[in-house]
């Protein structure tokens, strides 16, 4: 019997240990890798405070921290007041009203975040409310309040309704009865609601992403955009947040009750200071403003600050994670002056009359632009677009694992069973079908459904035989660590990996590939075209274009910059100089609705296979 008890105790301890490891091991790993000296998120190469220095010097991250903290505090305070008063009121309401309100209150709790986000975005657009700090705050209050009601209501229901009446019989006003009698008895439920509301607000991404604007971003949005490329600063930021939370928890347990009133005064003063700072920080001067919408991690942030200083203006800089999400936000009513989308999306924006033609004589430093990326089919004559970065899609491979002669197979090497289980495919509908279509000898812009179906069969057969893995931007860190032999990547990402792993090389199959160009365009809503042209000219200056290309890793549209960097910063890195003029290379074109839907349907089946 004693042995059974010991075994049961040992099993229980083991269970607790496993549980704690499951919850806290990821946190420990994040903290350890925040001190990694290399860019890799999975391979420790030495101890360094490098990423903490980068974090402190990154103004965008510090602004995001400020936005997250202030939004969370204000949303928590407002939603707690609203939720608590509603919960108390429901206890005194008739049953039918109480049931209706509680059922309505459950709708936002049970609905997916994306539904709430789209609904709020459309609401703000329909009433023409400028999106930014205030709309994000309103959205957070809207989705936090139902959780507060749910936390406080059960406690309020358990109270004796005669308590408030007794307090008023003894001379208390209704307000005094509420503040001094009812609320203190609800403090456990209110505290639970406060913690839940603060956590929900501080942690939110989906709703914040769709309702924000005017350059306002919280931590979740910034971190999400940072994941588009390898950025260990995320680990440093996460570590600081974890330590701050731990310190707050310790203080909450150790502060003596004698300090209670003093702490209340400090918190009240701190709150008013915070409100003042927030109002001051949110006040924008009457100077010139340029609203830019670009992909995440796609510009050297120092250049934005330099442009602001040089032209005495304010740049409202926002980022998107894909051309499609950018398009959705633009169509929902968000207004920007300058966009930096990809070729096929530019063609779509042109067709839908959402861009304005350029006045090229207003743009300086254009004489050095690479003629290979000018006058492409998506924008003949570059009537609407100025090249920003260019590149191709190719295969990044580990020279220690892949035989050079096998590269002669072209795209079919991705179906060579010798490399089964050793291939990363890029999680992109367009690029995956491009590979299959090129391997079969078809145009990647085909609208022939029979050809598209054959490409679908090619991809399905590849999934059946190769055990390939579809991944996103995490492919860069995985290939730096040499996890698999090959990966389909964009040339700039290939250059980034090759700079950290000398065993990697890059090639473009002779069957042809996607040659792409991201470009700067002006929207119809551009409020200061002169300033927008100045930004374009600024980005085409030799030093600025060089700094931007080094920071991002993609090929500069300026011939002189690309040639010089290929001989210095990216020496020996073939991916930095992709074959833009290959005879079988193509640029993605706009797809008609029925073809787009056909591709999307087949792609869903490929991913679900």
Q: Classify the phi-psi angles of 421: left when phi > 0, otherwise alpha if psi is within -120 to 50, otherwise beta.
A: left
Report d(CA 25, CA 430) in Å as an integer: 37
pLDDT band at residue 49 under the 50/70/90 scheme:
confident
Per-residue pLDDT for 266 more than 50? Answer: no
CA angle 430, 433, 438 (to 5 degrees): 120
Q: What is the DSSP letter of 540?
A: T
Residue 108: name the closest of 80, 71, 150, 76 by CA: 150
- For residue 520, report the phi and psi dihedrals to the nearest 5 degrees: -90, 130
**Cβ-based burial of 573 (10 A; exposed 0-12, middle 13-18, buried ≥19):** buried
Q: How far apart are CA 258 and CA 238, in angstroms?
A: 33
The per-residue pLDDT for 42 is: 60
Asked if residue 394 lies in contact with residue 585, where contact means CB atoms within 8 angstroms, the answer is no
- Which pLDDT belongs to residue 231? 64
Give CA–CA dist 325/408, Å, rounded. 37
**Local structure of residue 180 (DSSP, 8 states):** I
Residue-level pLDDT at 187:
85
Task: Evaluate if residue 519 carries a pLDDT over 70.
Answer: yes
Give just the sign of the alpha carbon dihedral 42, 294, 241, 149: negative
8 A C-beta contact, residue 212 and residue 125: no
pLDDT tens digits, one per residue of 86-113: 988 888 788 888 888 888 888 888 888 8
Both tokens of residue 156?
Answer: 């309020």
* pLDDT at residue 325 in the model: 84
Distance CA 86, CA 100 (A): 13
CA–CA separation, 233 vs 46, rounded Å?
Answer: 16
What confidence score (pLDDT) does residue 285 get?
A: 43
CA distances from 100 to 107, 152, 159, 261, 377 (A): 11, 17, 21, 40, 57
pLDDT at residue 258 in the model: 43
CA distance 120 to 381: 40
Q: Is the pLDDT of residue 352 over 90?
A: yes
Token pair listed for 387: 């090249």
Backbone φ and ψ for 448, nearest 5 degrees, come out as -80, 115
**Under a CB-based contact definition with an 8 Å cutoff, are residues 382 and 374 in contact?**
yes
How many of the other CB atoms lie within 10 Å of CB of 71? 24
Question: How far apart (Å, rounded) are the C-alpha atoms in residues 462 and 296?
Answer: 31
What is the residue whose two structure tokens read 């100077």? 287
Predicted confidence band at 38 (pLDDT cuts at 50, 70, 90)?
Answer: low
**Of 1-15, 163-177, 303-317, 594-608, which range is least confident?**
1-15
Strand partners, 316: 291
What is the structure's pLDDT at 284? 44
The answer to whether residues 97 and 272 touch, using CB atoms and an 8 Å cutoff, is no
Give, rounded to a whole angstrom, the gap between the first and last alpha carbons of the chain: 52
C-beta atoms surrounding 403 within 10 Å: 13
Categorize the per-residue pLDDT at 217 as very low, low, confident or very high, splitting at 50, 70 and 90. Answer: confident
3-state helix vs strand vs coil in the chain, percent to 5:
60, 10, 30
**Exposed e or buried b for every residue in 357-372, given b needs 16+ CB within 10 A?**
ebeeeebebbebbbeb
Residue 10: what pLDDT?
73
CA dihedral 440, 455, 422, 607 (to 10 degrees): 170
pLDDT at 233: 76
pLDDT exceeds 60 at position 278: no
173-182, 313-322, 438-447: lowest mean pLDDT where?
Answer: 173-182
Q: How far apart are CA 489 and CA 472, in angstroms?
A: 9
- Over 50: is that where the pLDDT of 539 sits? yes
pLDDT higher than 90, residue 254: no
pLDDT tops 70 at residue 261 = no
Mean pLDDT of 289-317: 90
- Least Cα distance to 180 among 163, 197, 193 occurs for 163
> For the CA atoms of 128, 133, 137, 140, what is the dihedral angle to 10 degrees?
90
Residue-wise pLDDT tens digits, 142-166: 999 999 999 998 888 887 777 777 7
- Give the chain's radius of gyration (CA, Å): 28
Predicted TM-score (pTM) of the model is 0.74
Q: Mean pLDDT lowest for which of 133-147, 230-244, 353-367, 566-580? A: 230-244
Element (H, E) at 261: helix 260-282
Write down the mean pLDDT value for the chain.
85
DSSP bridge pairs for 469:
424
pLDDT of residue 240: 80
pLDDT of residue 393: 94
Residue among 48, 15, 24 nearest 34 (CA): 48
C-alpha torsion 272→274→278→281, nearest 10: 120
For residues 20-29, give the mean pLDDT.
Answer: 78
Give the model confidence (pLDDT) of 452-467 as tens digits.
Answer: 999 999 999 999 999 9
Say how many C-beta atoms besides its own lie within 10 A of residue 350's C-beta.
Answer: 18
Output the pLDDT for position 280: 43
Q: Residue 517: which of 369, 430, 387, 394 has the closest Cα?
A: 387
511 neighbors 410 (Cβ within 8 angstroms): yes
pLDDT above 70: percentage of residues in the chain: 89
- Which residues pair with residue 370 across a beta bridge? none
Q: What is the pLDDT of residue 282?
A: 43
pLDDT at 265 over 60: no
Inter-residue contact 597 to 358 (CB < 8 Å)? no
Question: How confident is the model over 155-208, as pLDDT tens digits?
Answer: 888 877 777 777 777 777 877 777 777 888 888 888 888 888 998 898 888 899
Q: What is the predicted pLDDT for the residue at 6?
A: 63
**3-state SS assignment for residue 339:** strand
DSSP 8-class letter at 182:
I
The stretch 211-229 carries a mean pLDDT of 77
Instruction: State the Cα–Cα distance between residues 505 and 482, nearest whole angstrom.
Output: 12
Which residues is 36 bridged to in the sheet? Answer: 47
């Amino acid at each position: 019997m004693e042995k059974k008890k010991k075994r049961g105790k040992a099993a229980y301890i083991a269970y607790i240990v496993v549980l704690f490891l499951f919850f806290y091991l990821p946190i420990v790993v994040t903290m350890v890798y925040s001190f990694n000296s290399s860019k890799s998120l999975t391979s420790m190469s030495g101890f360094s405070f490098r990423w903490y220095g980068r974090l402190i010097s990154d103004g965008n991250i510090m602004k995001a921290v400020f936005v997250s903290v202030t939004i969370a505090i204000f949303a928590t305070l407002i939603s707690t007041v609203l939720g608590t008063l509603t919960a108390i009121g429901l206890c005194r309401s008739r049953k039918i009203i109480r049931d209706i309100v509680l059922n309505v209150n459950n709708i936002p709790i049970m609905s997916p975040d994306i539904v709430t986000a789209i609904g709020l975005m459309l609401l703000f657009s329909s009433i023409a409310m400028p999106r930014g700090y205030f709309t994000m705050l309103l959205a957070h209050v809207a989705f936090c309040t139902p959780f507060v009601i749910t936390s406080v209501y059960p406690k309020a229901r358990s109270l004796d309704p005669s308590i408030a009446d007794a307090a008023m019989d003894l001379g208390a006003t209704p307000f005094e009865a509420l503040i001094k009698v009812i609320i203190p008895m609800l403090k456990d439920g209110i505290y639970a609601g406060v913690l839940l509301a603060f956590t929900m607000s501080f942690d939110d991404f989906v709703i914040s992403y769709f309702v924000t604007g005017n350059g306002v971003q919280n931590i979740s949005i910034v971190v999400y955009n940072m994941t588009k490329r390898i950025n260990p600063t995320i680990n440093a930021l996460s570590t600081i947040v974890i330590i701050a939370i731990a310190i707050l928890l310790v203080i909450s347990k150790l502060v003596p009750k004698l300090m209670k009133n003093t702490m209340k005064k400090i918190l009240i003063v701190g709150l008013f200071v915070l409100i003042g700072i927030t109002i001051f920080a949110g006040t924008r001067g009457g100077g010139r403003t340029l609203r830019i919408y670009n992909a995440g991690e796609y510009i050297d942030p120092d250049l934005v600050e330099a442009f602001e200083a040089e032209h005495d203006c304010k740049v409202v800089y926002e980022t998107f994670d894909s051309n499609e999400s950018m398009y959705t936000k633009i169509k929902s009513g968000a207004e920007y002056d300058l966009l930096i989308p990809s070729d096929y999306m530019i063609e779509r924006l042109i067709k839908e009359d959402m861009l304005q033609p350029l006045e090229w004589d207003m743009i300086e430093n254009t004489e050095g632009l690479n003629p290979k990326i000018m006058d492409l089919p998506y924008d003949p004559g570059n009537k609407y677009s100025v090249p920003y970065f260019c590149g191709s899609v190719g295969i990044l491979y580990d020279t220690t694992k892949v035989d050079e002669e096998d590269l002669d197979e072209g795209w079919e090497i991705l179906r060579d069973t010798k490399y089964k289980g050793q291939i990363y495919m890029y999680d992109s509908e367009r690029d995956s079908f491009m590979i299959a279509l090129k391997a079969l000898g078809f145009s990647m812009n085909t609208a022939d459904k029979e050809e598209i179906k054959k490409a679908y069969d090619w991809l399905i057969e590849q999934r059946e035989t190769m055990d390939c893995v579809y991944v996103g931007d995490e492919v860069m860190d995985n290939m730096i660590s040499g996890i698999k032999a090959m990966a389909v990547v964009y040339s700039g990402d290939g250059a980034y990996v090759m700079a950290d792993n000398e065993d990697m090389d890059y090639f473009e199959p002779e069957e042809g590939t996607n040659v792409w160009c991201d470009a700067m365009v002006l929207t119809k809503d551009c409020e200061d075209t002169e300033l927008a042209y100045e930004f374009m000219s600024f980005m085409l200056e030799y030093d600025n274009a060089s700094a931007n290309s080094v920071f991002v890793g993609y090929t500069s549209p300026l011939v002189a910059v690309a040639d010089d960097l290929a001989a210095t910063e990216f020496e020996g890195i073939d991916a930095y100089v992709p074959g833009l003029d290959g005879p079988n290379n193509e640029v993605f074109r706009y797809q008609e609705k029925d073809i787009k839907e056909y591709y999307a349907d087949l792609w869903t089946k490929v991913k679900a296979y």
